[in-house]
Structure 1
Amino acid sequence: MVNILIVDDEPDTVTLLEKILEIEGYDIIKAYSGKEALDRLAELDVDLVILDIMMPEMDGYEVCRRIKTSMKTAHIPVIFLSVRSSEIDIIKGLKYKAEDYITKPFNKQILTAKIKAILKRTMKSELGSISKKTKEKPEKIGSLGIVMFKSSKDFYGIIEEYMDKGKTVVFAASLPKILQIITEQKYAKKMKLFSITFNKNEELIKKNIGNTEIIEVPTLDDLVYLFGNLKEETVFVSLDEINAILGFSNTIISILKLSEKAVFSGIDLIFCGREDSITPEQRTILDSLFK
């Protein structure tokens, strides 16, 4: 999930932003002062900060300066949201390396559009960093890819190509899709099957369906953890299901998390899904990530 930290000393503003952004599918972290914001950043994973300027004790400029000069948080994008609307204020905010500056009162469509654009740029930058890191450690490089198909038959053909080459194939999807592949795919018994339940309250367990072993994986974070036990294997992850359950923005975040672990584990990671499960615009964004 994408975690957005809202920092403002006005509770009404925090509440309004929380309602707007939760509708967009973001998880919200709240802070009502600069010090509280820095504490939250030290304790929690934050993907973006929306920051007021006029706050007592520590203003937004100082908070932004500390965020951008800390090795731990410098990568986190910051959007100033302030009643200060002069060119001097805006330029000062951008000089502190904030990614954007929006004035109050704000248009919620513009705000959400800018958040999505900044997160997209940040994700592409992180993916580029992953690629750069893997070039520095060639002995551990995995690979990343995306495959979209028109029918299950086409997908099974792709799997069979990998199996025929002697590759060990892992498939991660929902239980219904796992059951479908067990029923329809002749190679199913030779595959490692991970059933993603998307229920963080569950635990990793093994179960058998017929003669086929399945590992139930509560969340995608657990799947990332399991990558450490997979070496030189090909992992297919159901992209269309992740998108349907988490939403497209969170799907991109998930791709980045899975990709980073995969490339350092020597895994060939392939995101797969039906062509009609995503829009042309989403496909363009996905393709740009894997260039």
Structure 2
Amino acid sequence: MFTVSMLATIAFIAAFVAIPVDKSVYIFPLGHISALNFALGMTLGIALFCIGAGAVHWARTLMSDVEIADERHPIEAEPEVREKVFADFQQGAKESALGRRKLIRNTMFGALTLVPLSGVVLLRDLGPLPEDKLRHTLWSKGKLLVNMNTNEPLRPSDVAVGSLTFAKPEGLEEHDHEFQNEIAKAALMIVRIQPENIKDKRELEWSHEGIVAYSKICTHVGCPISLYEQQTHHVLCPCHQSTFDLSDGARVIFGPAGHALPQLRIGVNDEGYLEALGDFDEPVGPAFWERG
């Protein structure tokens, strides 16, 4: 049974690798079911069942079932008690036949060693490693800032003082397969502030004529920021009221957010359109620093 368990574990791994995810099989009376799920369930079930059944069969047929009653004794064992325990252990080990029956012992150890590999193999379904994908967005040098509402590239004259404009990178369309994943990192909000009202030196350097571009993704739990107060230059996240000062490096002035909004450095190309001068200088979104 232990040997069958090892073979079933190997069959589990083979099924995981060889059977396509979309392949189905007809089994009466269940009908059409996933061939991969059926194979994984059967092989893993057999592997676990054979370990348990083999251990029970071994205990019932080969090991001694004589019950021994012992009187209570003080917590501090006497020398003769320790000798008795040691003798009982040796007798039990002898009666279990663990030392003499090497086939049972070795196959049991083999089954117990192999069966956890099923869980290790399933970790592959967690998907590919993120590597450094969280540190980058679609923004890069020369990418035009495209208005989310009109789908047209933005000129400085399109951004009025006191207005809040949302933008996306050039080339990202809503019908794209990866649109939701990419816009969740690249969504941009743009405001125009009088240059003399910008308090942060780097923010002023990364702006164009007072037009500043910041990530729209709140650094608390990733909600899209959409509320702008013209007089104070504050933006408010509607989910948990985290408030950021866009005139002072988008630092947090209220709420649970722990980090300022990342800024995108922008300029104007030869045709007069706003363009990115690179990617965000730090990863966007919530909890990144806690993850690594």
The question of a shared fold, defined as TM-score above 0.5 by the shorter chain, is answered with: no
Q: TM-score, normalised by structure 1?
A: 0.22
Higher strand share: 1
What is the TM-score with the length of structure 2 in the denominator?
0.22
Q: Which has the higher helix share?
A: 1
